[in-house]
Amino acid sequence: MSYFARDRSWHPPALFPAYKTSVKRSPQAAPVAMPQTMSELTAPVFGHAMIGALDNDLIRNFSPTGEDALGPRIIVYGRVADEAGRPVPGALIEVWQANAGGRYRHAKEGYVAPLDPNFGGCGRTITDEEGRYEFRTVQPGPYPWPNGPNDWRPAHIHFSLLGRAFAQRLITQMYFEGDPMIWRCPIVASVPSREAVETLIAAYDPLATIPMDARAYRFDITLRGRRQTMFEGRP
């Protein structure tokens, strides 16, 4: 049993000069191919017991007073499956994001937009037996960042995924359908094809929207799939 080779031409290249920080942080030698061993075929798996009741509710999980965070209320939900279409149950999803004004709660962040005292910006959950997950949060704002003289990030939520194998480890970002900033962003542009970028854009889902409460966005995630034949490894 092993995981399908990663299609590196589908992912951003290490060096993407329009994203300036990548210039001095991109390995220049090609990565060395090696077979997967137990080190790559295993991963830590965390039980649902680790997850607190508010861990996937960014509107409430930081608030010291119990008041809700400010901003457009949204549900982000979806399914984690592998490349072969099998659901990935038990996957740990960690998310982080700016607040509705585009400000991160971080010592190194200096954007003029104010912090929200009721918003921390982190959440986590574990996928269920069918690979499903959901979060409640506020829609993050776009914000300027020091790259070009006037670059802005589209609204986005960062996603970290830990599946069944360390070979599946992945960090990515989710964008919002219809945002014109997506197609102007150098970090988005590091993804080589429009087809691949489109898989990072969550679709507005009017049916899952909770009336008079929160809109819904659907973001399905695909982790590496695995080959599983009885002949594999047979000399």
Q: How far is the CB of 101 from another protein (least distance, A)?
A: 15
Residue number, 128 or 209, with CB nearest to another protein: 128
Per the residue annotation, which of 103, 124, 136, 156 is the catalytic one?
156
- How far CA 58 is from CA of 74, 78, 90, 149, 159, in Å, comes to 10, 17, 21, 32, 14
Output 160 or 209, the one with its CB closest to another protein. 160
| DSSP bridge partners of 124 | 94
**Tokens standing for residue 93:** 């999803």
Q: Which is nearer to another protein, 120 or 209 (CB)?
A: 120
Of 143, 175, 224, 226, the active-site residue reads 143
Closest approach, Cβ 205 to another protein, in A, equals: 18
Active site residue 153: yes
77 is catalytic: no
Q: Is 156 a catalytic residue?
A: yes
- Work out the end-to-end distance of the chain between its first and last CA atoms, rounded to an integer number of angstroms: 14
Q: Least CB distance from residue 200 to another protein, whole Å?
A: 6
Residue 74, classed as helix, strand or coil, is strand
Q: 94 or 205, CB closer to another protein? A: 94
Length of the chain measured in residues: 235
In whole angstroms, the minimum distance from the beta carbon of 42 to another protein comes to: 4
**8, 45, 159, 211 from 173: Cα distances, Å:** 17, 22, 6, 27
* Catalytic-labelled residue, pool 104, 133, 175, 217: 104
CB 106 within 8 A of CB 27: no
Residues designated catalytic: 104, 143, 153, 156, 158
